[in-house]
A and B are shown apart, each in its own frame.
Chain A
Amino acid sequence: MQGKTLILGVIGADVHAVGNKILYHAFRQAGFEVVNLGVMVSQEEFIEAAIETAAAAIVVASLYGHGELDCRGMREKCQEAGLADILLYVGGNIVVGKQPFEEVEIRFKDMGFDRVFPPGTLPDAVIDALREDLQP
């Protein structure tokens, strides 16, 4: 995975900053180049960063419950920007309250996310998934 670039950020009007920093360090430790856009990141910002850095994946976090609204249309925008095949992950507390995760996963996969992670996912699980998905 040496050298593969990831774009990381917390989407929308979400200010939960702690998990973001933990993920950043974990991904770096695992050997990725990480562009961390921090909190309150718009879809456009994720996409522009991915274009300029030729990123392999965009890892979207959402903690405050509005993830579904914030993520809508993101895959389509990637396609428009010439990033049709970029890997899109999402995780955190992506919906309000406790909903059956299988349903949530289906909804986000329908939106074009390659992987959807349930609350409480540890960074290692994401790193394993990235290694698998980014195999040459």
Chain B
Amino acid sequence: MTVSILHRVTGSGMATVGVIVFLWWLGALAAGERDYARFMDLLTVKSGAPNIAGYILGIGLTLSFFQHMMTGIRHFVMDAGAAFELKANKSFAVLTVVVSVLLTAALWGYITYDQLKAAPAGNAPIAVETK
């Protein structure tokens, strides 16, 4: 029961907040280097790591996506007529939340690890821009 409202909330959230961020990002990218840097400045600190707003939006949207993805897959299974038994249904519902949290943690763990590993922008493949 609870996860079906999660599906609606995450879907609607991505369709509004997610789409605005997406358009803003693409628009700034198309507008050119200066505008893109301004966009990134709003979401990151100097090193390129996310700031508070970047983390809230980034983690919020990835968690929403994975939750919606898992409940979406649950929809597919149930449309096929499976997992209607009370117990299976309940475990599947719980599973969607567990898996989406794990995937989000894995993704952000990877991103953070990568940034630590990359250390000061020394190995950037292109000329490092200065702000």
Partners in one complex: no
Residues of A within 8 A of B (CB): none
Residues of B within 8 A of A (CB): none
